[in-house]
């Protein structure tokens, strides 16, 4: 299967936001084009593009912020993933859900990778707001990237939660024989 890389400029922190999409090829995604679009256009004339943007609907931001606040998490980065369907360079629709999951690799901001690993456990997850429901998606962190899979396309947030590590110094002296 082919891999597709997308770069999107994030204006909030003048950082380049890298998202790598690994999974279905665009040919395979044609099966997920909504029927009403298939009825209007020849599927062979349609182009599919995965787009990652920092243009987020305010309501989605608020739902994610509420969940983060409730769960004691911190937002690392928030973004929207869309699959656009176009015919002759004109957008004719979107794919909101695919039959199979796509794998995404998102760069974790360098400042969020800097913490005291001896005293803190930092757990990254993805929060997805889709159709007014915020769900947590597990991630695997590899080489500074959060890797996750999804088949629903809308607003996402890379978030983390810090918890203190239990130190060996907390062992009571009564347990130590002298």
pLDDT in tens, 77-88: 999 988 889 998
Residue 120 lies in a domain: yes
pLDDT band for position 56 (50/70/90)?
confident
Which residue range(s) make up the domain with 88? 3-171
Sign of CA dihedral 54, 57, 58, 62: negative
Which helix (H) or strand (E) is 128 found in, with range? strand 120-130
Residue 177 lies in a domain: no
Pick the residue with more confidence: 13 or 37? Answer: 37
Total domains in the fold of the chain: 1
Residue 90 lies in a domain: yes
Q: Residue 158 has what pLDDT?
A: 96
| Confidence check: pLDDT of 1 > 80 | no
Structure tokens at 39: 């009825």
Residue 152 lies in a domain: yes
Mapping DSSP to helix (H, G, I), strand (E, B) and coil, where does residue 167 land? coil
Residue 144 lies in a domain: yes
Percent of the residues in the chain that have a pLDDT greater than 90, as a whole number: 44
Per-residue b or e along 14-29, where b marks 16 or more CB atoms closer than 10 Å to that residue's CB: eeebebbbebbeeeeb
Digit-coded pLDDT (tens) for 143-178:
998 999 999 999 999 999 999 987 555 544 445 555
Residue 41 lies in a domain: yes
């Amino acid at each position: 299967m082919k891999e597709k890389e997308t770069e999107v400029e994030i204006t909030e922190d003048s950082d380049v936001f890298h998202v790598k999409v690994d999974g279905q090829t665009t040919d395979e995604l044609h099966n997920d084009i909504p029927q009403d679009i298939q009825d209007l256009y020849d599927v062979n004339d349609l182009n599919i593009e995965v787009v990652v943007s920092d243009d987020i609907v305010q309501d989605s931001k608020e739902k994610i912020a509420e969940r983060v606040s409730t769960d004691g998490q911190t937002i690392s980065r928030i973004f929207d993933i869309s699959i656009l369907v176009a015919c002759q360079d004109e957008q004719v629709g979107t794919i909101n859900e695919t039959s199979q999951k796509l794998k995404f690799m998102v760069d974790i901001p360098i400042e969020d990778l800097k913490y005291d690993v001896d005293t803190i456990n930092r757990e990254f997850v993805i929060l997805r707001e889709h159709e007014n429901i915020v769900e947590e998606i597990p991630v695997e962190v590899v080489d500074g990237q959060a890797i996750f899979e999804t088949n629903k396309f809308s607003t996402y947030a890379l978030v983390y939660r810090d918890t203190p590590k239990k130190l060996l110094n907390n062992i009571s002296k009564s347990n130590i024989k002298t």
